[in-house]
Amino acid sequence: MLALRLHPDRRLRLHEEAVPAPGRDEVIVRVGAVGLCGSDRHWVLDGGIGDARLEAPLILGHEFAGVAETGRYRGRLVAVDPAIPCQRCGPCLAGAVNLCLDLRFAGHGGTDGALRERVAWPERCLQPLSEAIGAVEAALVEPLAVAVHALDLAGTLEGATVAVIGCGPIGLMIVALAHAAGAAAVSATDPLRHRLDAALDFGATHVVEATALGDERALLRAAIPGPGYDVVFEVSGEAPAVETAVSVAGPGAQVVLVGIPPDDRTTFGASTARRKGLTLKLSRRSTPSAFRRAAALAEAGTLGLGRLVTLRVPLREATSGFDSLVARDGLKVIVEPGAS
């Protein structure tokens, strides 16, 4: 089968490899669609993410869906949870499996991901879906679960004023979810115009173009009455965006940090944050519960997530998909290992 590996020289190369042998509790999934993520962009551009570095050729891809070829869901479309918690450590036993101390995650560290024709994956990580949606939309379940988990951390948004800093696919999903949750206002900012247009499409009430000068902060505050937002989602990871999040938050607001900083540092003006008594929450991927709810939302189709997909390429042409990911010229790039 065909597999795409990122090598330590940061080049992507196609390989012909054997179909993986399923381990105990694992089943074979024929991969139908893989979404490329901002974290994959970090792997390709920086050779790592956070404190994880690329040491051996790695198959990226953690947003994926396909058809189970073995096991109890054989023949069915499944969205695959890329996280494999150990089920033995303290956080796992306490039910916080996203905080597992020995977590394996597709396309991260030593665990190969889904940019290949078949994967062997634990059956308990599979979420069967109705055939009403296809593999491409099913591959959006994982990033949607990340967005659902971020909303879980924020609590109820009904009647709240919400700001979303950074409008990549997860930021846009947060916009859509906040709108659906009955937020009184959803303001969004990003440096890229096409992302702001998408934010309006997904239910943002105000959009503001982010600039190098931070001009968006005053404009975001002016977009709503009162001294600042009740809830702010920071979904970019860039230092100025974190600063913007703290700057537009109101007194007593919640700030949920979802973005991953490229230099592994989060900084913001301490006095501003302290004066407002902000609650900062750091979001860690998602949870099995968020994954199930995201699957149900994708099946219902009410969020219209298919609008996020701006490019679909077969595995053989995946490098052009990565070029688009790096250039940020679209929204979500999907690689289809089954297509030719």
Which positions lie near Zn ion, rule CB under 5 A? 37, 85-86, 89, 92, 100
Identity of the residue, 141 or 255, whose beta carbon is nearer to Zn ion in the bound complex: 141
E-strand ranges in 147-248 read 161-165, 185-190, 206-209, 229-234
Identity of the residue, 92 or 232, whose beta carbon is nearer to Zn ion in the bound complex: 92
Is residue 277 left, alpha or beta, with left meaning phi > 0 and alpha meaning psi from -120 to 50? left
> What whole-number distance in Å separates Cα of residue 192 and Cα of residue 243?
18
> What whole-number distance in Å separates Cα of residue 32 and Cα of residue 169?
20
**Minimum distance between the CB of residue 169 and Zn ion, rounded to whole angstroms?**
8
Position with the least CB separation from Zn ion: 37
**Minimum distance between the CB of residue 97 and Zn ion, rounded to whole angstroms?**
6
Query: How many CB atoms neighbour CB 207 within 10 A?
Result: 24
Computed over its alpha carbons, how large is the radius of gyration of the chain?
20
Identity of the residue, 68 or 139, whose beta carbon is nearer to Zn ion in the bound complex: 139
> What whole-number distance in Å separates Cα of residue 295 and Cα of residue 283?
19
**Minimum distance between the CB of residue 247 and Zn ion, rounded to whole angstroms?**
27
Can you give the three-state secondary structure of 265-295, one letter per residue? CCCCCHHHHHHCCCEEEECCCCCHHHHHHHH
Identity of the residue, 166 or 250, whose beta carbon is nearer to Zn ion in the bound complex: 166
Contacts of 250 (CB under 8 A, 6+ apart): 161, 226, 227, 228, 229, 230, 276
**Minimum distance between the CB of residue 102 and Zn ion, rounded to whole angstroms?**
5
Identity of the residue, 54 or 92, whose beta carbon is nearer to Zn ion in the bound complex: 92
**Minimum distance between the CB of residue 180 and Zn ion, rounded to whole angstroms?**
21
**Minimum distance between the CB of residue 143 and Zn ion, rounded to whole angstroms?**
5
Identity of the residue, 173 or 249, whose beta carbon is nearer to Zn ion in the bound complex: 173
Token pair listed for 20: 């993986």
**Minimum distance between the CB of residue 237 and Zn ion, rounded to whole angstroms?**
12
Identity of the residue, 100 or 220, whose beta carbon is nearer to Zn ion in the bound complex: 100
Contacts of 131 (CB under 8 A, 6+ apart): 77
